[in-house]
Structure 1
Amino acid sequence: MAIWGKKKNKETDPETREKKKKVGLIRRLWQKFRNIDWKNPVNRWKLLFVSLVGCIVVFGGGYGVLSLTNSPSFCSSCHEMAPEYSTFTASAHSNISCVQCHIKPGFTNMITHKMKSMKEVYYHVTGIPEQIVQTEEEAVSNENCLQCHSKNRLVTASGDLKVNHKGHIEKDIPCITCHAGVVHAKIAARGINTEEVRGHWTKENAEKLMEQKYLRPNMGSCIDCHEKVNNGEEPWKEVAYNVPPNPEEVQNKLDEQTKKASGEAAATETKEGEAVADHDEKTQSIILQGIGKQKKDVKISMECKTCHKQTEIPKTHQAAEWSGNHGDTAVQQLDKCVNCHQDSKWAREIPKEDIMSILKMKEQETKASKYTPNMTVVKDQARTNKFCSACHSDRPKGHGDSNQWLTTHAANAKTNDQKAECFVCHDRDKPKVDSDNVKAPTDVYCQYCHRTGFKDDKTN
């Protein structure tokens, strides 16, 4: 009998049995590696060769993966990227890769972006997003643009616009504040890259959908930013000002506003009416500043000639009494008038569009004949276009004093053509609140005084 107890049985002892268990693969390999005679030069050369092959496989494979994911063809492999890829191939930037714009220069930025992009793979597998929208974190930076473009530019490529690019960049104004649509034609803001219309994005359709007004800097962006600067603001410092709004966030805000507005329909309608009136007044003020009829002491002049070198007043506009006699020209050449006098070009907001309507409109434009003079079209344009209503809302000089004009204006409204000119600003009958017709610039309507009717009605 042993002093310290019974002698352990090696066959039945648990610790001994555990040691006899088969060693794991990794441990066995490590043991073999430790048992190698590293003093032998042959073994050291074998290790060097294996390490070299391993590095080639790892780094070469990694580089191949990076090169593949950096190519535009990789982006096009996903169905949800069809609108973005189609617009890219039809743009002036089709000769460069996507990552040259969407990833900041530098290897670290590249790897960081690849890690963040794993969520896009997750969304592709679990559920394709309804719409691809650039987030604030992924906004294209000036660093990307300056890889190819010089900031020492004072005029645009066309030579018309005077724009101090260096001055803008030194103020930390992002390039995309003005050039947001240069590649993708603002398809996200227009709402034409949603899941339901992605099948219509072919190369041929992309060329039709990429209109110049969305590719070039939007004058409304310039006007909006300059006006805010004149009010002491620096809007570009908010990243959200430079990227298209996320439609889901916009819809959530609208839903919240709808819930808050429930039970307060009358108050909401009043506020909306006031907002529309304020917007119209603001737009008209900017237009009057632009054409030089309303001057203000501001940091940045809002006159057209401040930025546009080639803007000139046509000779016809310089004729005497042009303001009061341009109606006939407007009827005959409305298509030419709206090339300059179109307030929608001055708006920063991009309206939502329907892709099928755009394609049909483009087909009609190719088949369309020359503009046919139409007084009804001119009247509606004069009422909706802020360029027209900015002046039409004021009483014309030719109307004279009210007490004299009321008794003598009949001589100016004898023929149908003369009456048509009157109806540009005035409604014949009392306008209905729920009417679909465009509201007249003035609240004065003919029936207000002619309550017993008109001579033409009685003779007929």
Structure 2
Amino acid sequence: MISKLNPKKLILILSVLIFLILIFSGSIYVWWNSAPAEKTCSSCHEIVPSVQSHRQSSHRNVSCSECHGTALSCGIHSLREKGSMVIYHISSRVDVVRLNEKQILEVMGNCIRCHTFEYAEWKQSGHSAKYSDLFLDTTHNKSEQLHPDCLRCHGMFYDGHIEDLVEPLNIEGPWRLRETGTAVMPTMPCMACHKIHSPGNISSSPDYSNPKEIYYSGQRSLSQVFFYDRHEKTHFRAEDLPKLKLWERNREVSVSNEPIMRTCIQCHAPDARHMAGTSDDRTPRGVHEGISCIACHEPHSNNAAGSCKYCHPAISNCRQDVTLMNVSYSDKNSTNNIHWVSCSNCHTDNKKKRI
């Protein structure tokens, strides 16, 4: 019957059908992206925990699509990804939904839209290192063989194992990344220390009618810093991490109880014996014993360039400008590491000088 239709009528009918399909599909698309989560995302049982945690987070007023995108937000790539998710959902049983590394970085790209300053600070820090910066470092690789535990801090979200990432696993080299696309990918994205769906409150102004109570009535909120454990595949809040027990010979070192420092110590940690100064331990000792990392290091950038002047007067008890003392703060070649410099490093006569 279709073959007997006038070509013009056939074209008209097909055009109308295509138009109706587009209208119907567009309506479904708009409805899906604007409807409440109960009728869309959380209708799948695997997503319910994520939706519930999102409602308790400081991002509760940000829609799912703002961070996770839509089926068309990145063109064909998004359409293919969302389509594969539907197929995977139908064909397999998934109890816990987790983002892979590429999806983590895509969400991180959306974080930048609101957290521009934080991203700029992170970008200039040591934590923005790419896979090529760390795993193709000839000097390091010749002194210490690459190990699966490297990914515990430098590649928390990497989907494979160390042998899938780089070869050869020896100290001779030359080394190369097995997947060229990983070379420019950051090893420590935002989600290494932040859990987006973590419980939190939206900032609000205090009660200005009672100014004396502004300080005392304010409740100290939990930190928004976490540590992502690659093996457990989950985030641990800084407050829930254990406090470091550290020893200097037979003496226990006083370590700050500040929660964020517990996150730092997960990677900048001593050896298995918990001896101060071993492995990548940078816990303050000497004149700075007991203070926290964040007392000197700014968040995200980790810059400590101006930290001395925040605590010290221009002229110290030694009658010297503390920013010019012979420590690694001002001179990278100094033997007096700023993290554990003590009075005896400079005053060998053990005499206390007073003004």
Q: Which has the larger radius of gyration?
A: 1
Give the TM-score, by structure 2 length. Answer: 0.41
> Which structure has more helix as a fraction of its residues?
1
> Which structure has more strand as a fraction of its residues?
2
